[in-house]
Chain A
């Protein structure tokens, strides 16, 4: 799931980064280049303006490549930001004072887009961009102070351009960030819904399975009660054994608590049910809720020998499972007379160790897996 979210986040980051690069490139070629060429005669030092345009382009290419390669800010972004502000100053200096707020002074309205590229994906990008834009605004204000451009029209122009540029640049950055966050939220929500569906489906299966087993036990209990009502002797060992077996099965159903069926537990339950159908009295304490994930082949090796012992039980068996985060132990004690016994422990290829012991008419088969 984390991988999916990361992929979505990267995709959104990449496409919004491409958007930022395209905006900066279109602005820089469509407006900055046009006014530099068409206003060439109006500049005080046109070569300086052209050099500033080239430097701007170079920094833009470096930032764009870094973003598009890894959606990360370029190395030495702070130094590049200072260089961008120097471009801003160079364009101002290249203009005559009367053109400070004119169309040919393209720097102060344009450098903000380079700022957006340079702070892209930085941890505190919004704050960094605001600092950058404030510096840009400060430089322009200083230039106005130096040239004595205090008239109302100039100040109004300054405010309009500055507010417009800042709104667009900050807005784009914030919008992209919000878009990415919402996309991640959507993926999380979708995964949660899928997980809820899976859980609901597994709960439905468990419930159906329990209803079925309750029905089977109810039938058995009904016939037993009928037998007793018809005069069966409660002291008869067979009747008592049937009552005990029914009580054991009911008790197991009552103490089952898992929400998701574990494959190892399901396999054991199936064999326990089969043994009970053969009138074997099976005791099985609760198997626990937190069995660890088992590598391939381990479950089969853990179950093989104990299930063979259970399948061959004559009249009684005890099935136990013990688990820790890196250990699972499955054991069966049964009155199985025919099971071949190995005198020494058997190590399976999966690492499961199986031990056999026969004592006083019972076998004890224990398979243990120890994880790394």
Chain B
């Protein structure tokens, strides 16, 4: 699936087995708007035939967790946003490692935050929701990326505070810099762990946008050539320029 060029509404397919949630999401994406819900169903198979820029996936379908399906979907190039109440960091890390572009926690989701996440993901830009911020900041696995102290602090404060503006005030920096720290951490996270086409798109876009340089994310340059090998964790972050 190519990068979204904003030529029309971003198309979304929703996999969700609770009608009340389906109705809620449908109302969020009601036309006219930047996002269009083009398919909906209670199983992954029920929406797979309809091409969509982004797949919004509930993790708990008909009594079964479908975490293990995320890697398969992302491996095919499908951008996946997980939409679940299972916000525990361990679960978030598993789906991000599998290639999910973002994780939206049902407990705190709003129309605005959901639209923002969908648009960022469709454009292959880093999107970090509060549950993702916590999961990335508290990762202690051997394959975790090396985050700078400021990147980790920005992630944790973003998860635990009321806004990025409050994080900026706490850290004594500009809000734009807070965003840079968070986005860079997200891109580093995409570079670590197992390779996936969805992560590659994010890395390409981050390099094009100047968020990181190719040499800052060593794994990127070798991903295509060494697919299947153990990726190398990225270098220690440098401060934003």
A residues lining the B interface (CB < 8 Å): 248, 251, 254-255, 257, 283, 285-286, 288-289, 318, 320, 322-325, 329, 331, 333, 355, 357, 359-360, 362, 364, 366
State how many angstroms separate the Cβ of B44 from the closest Cβ of chain A.
22
The number of residues on chain B lying at the interface, defined by a beta carbon within 8 Å of a beta carbon of chain A, is: 27
B residues lining the A interface (CB < 8 Å): 85-90, 105-108, 130-131, 134, 137-138, 140, 156-157, 159-163, 165-166, 169-170
Q: Is the CB of A359 within 8 A of B107?
A: no
State how many angstroms separate the Cβ of A264 from the closest Cβ of chain B.
15
Q: Is the CB of A362 within 8 A of B105?
A: no
Measured CA separation A362–B160 after assembly (Å): 13
Check A285/B170 contact, CB under 8 A, given A325-B140, A359-B165: no
Contact residues in B for A254 (Cβ distance below 8 Å): 85
A-B pairs under 8 A by CB, number: 71
Q: Is the CB of B162 within 8 A of A329?
A: no
Contact residues in B for A357 (Cβ distance below 8 Å): 161, 166, 169-170
Contact residues in A for B138 (Cβ distance below 8 Å): 288, 322-324
Measured CA separation A113–B87 after assembly (Å): 67
Check A324/B134 contact, CB under 8 A, given A283-B107, A359-B165, A364-B166: no
State how many angstroms separate the Cβ of A306 from the closest Cβ of chain B.
10
Contact residues in B for A248 (Cβ distance below 8 Å): 107
Measured CA separation A286–B89 after assembly (Å): 9
Check A320/B159 contact, CB under 8 A, given A357-B169, A359-B169: yes
What are 7 A-B residue pairs whose CB atoms fall within 8 Å in the complex? Answer: A288-B90, A318-B162, A324-B138, A331-B160, A355-B170, A357-B170, A364-B161
Q: Is the CB of A366 within 8 A of B85?
A: no
Q: Is the CB of A322 within 8 A of B85?
A: no
State how many angstroms separate the Cβ of A356 from the closest Cβ of chain B.
10
Q: Is the CB of B87 within 8 A of A324?
A: no
Q: Is the CB of A322 within 8 A of B88?
A: no
Measured CA separation A254–B106 after assembly (Å): 13
* Residue in B131, B134, B160, B163 whose CB lies within 8 Å of A366: B160
Contact residues in A for B170 (Cβ distance below 8 Å): 355, 357, 364
When A and B form their complex, which 10 residue pairs have the shortest distance between CB atoms, in order from nearest?
A331-B160, A286-B88, A285-B87, A320-B160, A333-B162, A364-B161, A324-B138, A359-B166, A362-B162, A251-B85
Q: Is the CB of A322 within 8 A of B161?
A: no
- Name A325's closest neighbour in chain B (CB-CB): B140
Q: Is the CB of B163 within 8 A of A359?
A: yes
* Residue in B90, B108, B160 whose CB lies within 8 Å of A322: B160
Check A322/B87 contact, CB under 8 A, given A251-B107, A285-B105, A364-B161: no
Contact residues in B for A257 (Cβ distance below 8 Å): 88
Contacts A285-B107, A324-B138, A364-B160 supplied; 4 other A-B pairs, CB < 8 Å: A286-B87, A320-B159, A359-B166, A364-B170
Check A255/B86 contact, CB under 8 A, given A248-B107, A285-B105, A359-B166: yes
Contact residues in A for B130 (Cβ distance below 8 Å): 285
Check A322/B106 contact, CB under 8 A, given A355-B170, A357-B169: no
